[in-house]
Amino acid sequence: MDEIKIGIGDIGIYVPEPRMEMGVLMESRRSTHPELERILNRAIEKTGQKSFHFPDPWEDTASLAANAAAKTLDRLEENQQGKFRYLSVGTETEVDHSKPVASYVQGMLQSAGYPLGNAMTTFEVKHACAGGTAALLSNAAMLSFSGDPGERALAICSDIARYEAPSTAEITQGAGAVALLIEKNPRLLEMNLSQQGFYASDVDDFFRPLGSVTAKVKGRYSMECYQEALVMAFTDYCDRCGGTPCDIINETDYLALHVPFAKMPEVAVRKLLKDTCEKDDDAIEAFLNRTGFLDAMYLSSSFGNLYTGSLYAYLASLLHQEYQKLGDGIVGKRVLIASYGSGNTMMVFSGTIAAGAPEMIASWKIESLINDYRKADFHEYLSWLARPKDTDAWRNLLEGATPSEGQFYLKDFEDSGLRIYDRA
């Protein structure tokens, strides 16, 4: 009997329309906080960020997740939409201390007419930016024991990254969701579930205290933790595979990492190649060029930090970029994936690009993700930063909601505080 492969069948990406351009942000900050001009300019140069998206008043983590999920469901036949066994959401910006975002997403999708049914389980996973990967690996492992060949799972990464402002950290904010459709004999990426590399350590590089809407981050320390965790988890992965780091690196066609800002994974990869494989600067540049690693940052530098979704938005842009170059020649290429979550953990696993990938990638509208946005002014940005936590005050903002046609959105709050969603 042929082995049944498990992996990613499709990727759906949703980012809110408002986009803050770095030029607009700098012009305003130069006026209001001239003392920050020098360090902000330096931070923009070091991060490589060009802009970031932030949510409209009627958008939250759950609505972002539902909109990303709808993109993958709409590419399935209706008789396939009722075959979902697992629905999970990885997030570090949850909307409830008890009820998972996944439950809200299930309700929104069912109310909109998607025939998901109720013979499934829903849950939420948290480990900073690695929660989406934990959801993906959990769903994939459970699906491998399912007896029905047509059953699927949906792991959604959804977050709103927000920091204290004004500060150098505000240029690495962002918002959006990435839905990963998991299936047997996947059309996009066959995952190797038998060999994974792990690393975890209790550190305080990044955290968000209960009751706080903004994260606390130790920038330089967090970068050091990221780099150390990547080396350690990759070493563990090599031990599990029984191969040398150099052999595994040389056999890798593509590399996908968590992208909190465009240049952070570049620094980590350079250190990885130097520490584990003793590559010199020329060899490192050759690897980066061969794998298209830096060129694929085009979505990340535009979107901003999607937290759990950043890795998979990058993966989608990488696959799209390489499909544009190679066409069907992309099939069979090996992808090494490394997912970092502050606090911290690193998970390394690999996948092989599946035979159905060219057709699936061709169906994505990557250009619309780049071009369809609303250029936000500084006043709109400040309004988002000042969004009230009090539900009664937030309700006033929802009364003027103007979601796009077909968009899931936060419609109201019940007096108890329960969130009510709808679809425009």
pLDDT band of 219, cuts 50, 70, 90: confident
- Contacts of 309 by beta carbon, 8 Å cutoff, 6+ apart: 13, 68, 132, 157, 158, 159, 176, 177, 178
| Average of per-residue pLDDT across 411-423 | 96
Give the pLDDT confidence of 339-358 residue by residue, as tens digits: 999 999 999 999 999 999 99
Q: What is the mean pLDDT of the chain?
A: 95
Cis peptide before 344 (omega within 30 of 0): yes
pLDDT at 1: 40
pLDDT at 3: 73
Q: Which residue from 302, 55, 256 is spatially nearest to 159, judged by alpha carbons?
A: 55
Res 360 pLDDT > 60: yes
Domain ranges of the chain: 6-423
| Average of per-residue pLDDT across 10-32 | 95
What is the CATH number that goes with domain 6-423?
3.40.47.10
CA 127 to chain CA mean position, Å: 13
- Contacts of 285 by beta carbon, 8 Å cutoff, 6+ apart: none
Residue 105 tokens read as 């997403």
339 bridge partner residues? 347
Give the pLDDT confidence of 47-93 residue by residue, as tens digits: 999 999 999 999 999 999 999 999 999 999 999 999 999 999 999 99
Residues 54, 59, 61, 66, CA torsion sign: negative
pLDDT at 4: 84
pTM summary value: 0.97
| Average of per-residue pLDDT across 264-281 | 95
Q: Which residue from 46, 47, 53, 44 is spatially nearest to 23, judged by alpha carbons?
A: 44
Res 133 pLDDT > 70: yes
| Average of per-residue pLDDT across 189-212 | 95
